[in-house]
Amino acid sequence: MAVQWAPLSLPLPRRRQTASVLLWMLLIPISFAIFFYFLFTPKFTPLALAYVVFIILDPSPETGARRVMWMRKLPIWRWCKDYFPIQLVSMAELDPSRNYLFGYHPHGIIALGSFLNFGTEASSFSHKFPGLNIRLMTLQTNFNLPLWREVLLSLGISSVSRRSCDNILNKGPGHSCMIVVGGATESLHAFPGIADLIVRKRLGFIKVALRNGADLVPVYSFGENDLWDQVPNPPGSAVRTMQALFQKYMTFAPPLFFGRGVFNYSFGIMPYRRAVVSVVGRPIECPKIENPSQEILLEYQQKYLDELMHIWDTYKDKYAKNRKREMRFLE
């Protein structure tokens, strides 16, 4: 198949957007390269080892991170957002005197919509939801990666552990969490035009919301699954078997994805320029129940699923015109 090369006459803003997304994708290897340079340079080795001790002892991922607003407002995040583009839409106003637990769907390959819309100010979250201090939650493993962890913490991104969620939701009015509910397992179902969500078995975040009296807010990102293509992996296939084994021992499953290149539109690992629209649904008020029963958990889960389906039904003909089937909740 002939390679479709990007034209040389592209305007500067588009080149800047591409460069920004590429830099974001390379931040982890760049962070590792800098750290190992310090580690294996004798005069800096003590400093690098002291930093490792700091990583081990630092409680910030569990206590709400170290959010720095200028980091959240860096132009690079806005340029990344404009590459696709990515938008943030709300169906209701959120009372800043309340605490909220946002559930994000779908995970997609990397959950880019959650990162740019809620982990940064690329879409002006603080202006659209004044008074809310949101922390995007991610796996604790990410906070073991030197230097990269500092980027996450400065954006207010925190560990997704129950303790971390409790700490944030009890900081006072407006302090809220966002959990990508489907997790890494859902990334294996991230195919363009498909909206298969792993949510029915996910009761933990419902329990956290009820224990803290935090309102549940579903968020659905139309287009999240369209940003990359993925190697087919039906159940029983060699690819799915390998992914399941990897997840068993490494806590996450690696999707075999591909997209476009930096200088071509035919192949590479860069995401496609496809629109993503994150729709914030209506809040579901939750009472504070220290030990909610299974019956209560299922009751509020159903309310959550109903609101998630309401988002889909309201916007699917506008933002999911090329869908291959309707949204499904997988068991």
- Domain span at residue 147 reads 12-330
**130-141 pLDDT per residue, tens:** 999 999 999 999
Look at the chain and report how many structural domains it folds into: 1
pLDDT band, residue 35 (cuts 50/70/90): very high
> Average pLDDT, stretch 217-236?
94
**Predicted local confidence at residue 209, as pLDDT:** 98
**Predicted local confidence at residue 132, as pLDDT:** 97
- % of the chain beyond a pLDDT of 70: 99
CA angle 48, 52, 54 (to 5 degrees): 110
**269-292 pLDDT per residue, tens:** 999 999 999 999 999 999 999 999
8-state DSSP, 119: S
**Predicted local confidence at residue 17, as pLDDT:** 97
Dihedral sign for Cα atoms in the order 179, 182, 188, 190: negative
Cis amide prior to 106 (ω within 30 degrees): yes
**Predicted local confidence at residue 1, as pLDDT:** 63
Alpha-carbon dihedral 102, 114, 104, 225, rounded to 10 degrees: 170
**147-177 pLDDT per residue, tens:** 999 999 999 999 999 999 999 999 999 999 9
> Average pLDDT, stretch 309-327?
97
**Is the pLDDT score of 103 beyond 70?**
yes
Residue 119 lies in a domain: yes
CA angle 151, 26, 103 (to 5 degrees): 55
Residue 3 lies in a domain: no
- Distance from CA of residue 171 to its chain's centroid? 22
Residue 274 lies in a domain: yes
**4-14 pLDDT per residue, tens:** 888 888 899 99
Q: 108, 189 in Cβ contact below 8 A?
A: no
Residue 23 lies in a domain: yes
* Mean predicted lDDT score pLDDT of the chain: 95
Q: Which of 27-31, 199-203, 216-220, 239-243 has the lowest mean pLDDT?
A: 239-243
Contacts for 28 with CB less than 8 Å, ≥ 6 apart: 145, 148
> Average pLDDT, stretch 74-100?
97
Residue 320 lies in a domain: yes
**Is the pLDDT score of 2 beyond 90?**
no
Give the CATH number for residue 227. 3.40.1130
**Predicted local confidence at residue 240, as pLDDT:** 86
Alpha-carbon dihedral 104, 106, 110, 112, rounded to 10 degrees: -60
Cis amide prior to 85 (ω within 30 degrees): yes
- Taking CA atoms, 144 is separated from 43, 113, 120, in Å, by 23, 23, 21
Report how far residue 185's alpha carbon sits from residue 195's, in angstroms, rounded to the nearest whole number: 14
Q: Which residue has the tokens 């909206």?
A: 195
Residue 6 lies in a domain: no
Residue 1 lies in a domain: no
pLDDT band, residue 83 (cuts 50/70/90): very high
Buried b (16+ CB within 10 A) or exposed e, 46-81: eebeebeeebeebebbbebbbbeeebbebebbbbbb
pTM of the shown model: 0.95
**247-257 pLDDT per residue, tens:** 777 767 788 89
Tokens of 264: 């071509």
**Predicted local confidence at residue 244, as pLDDT:** 81
Residue 5 lies in a domain: no
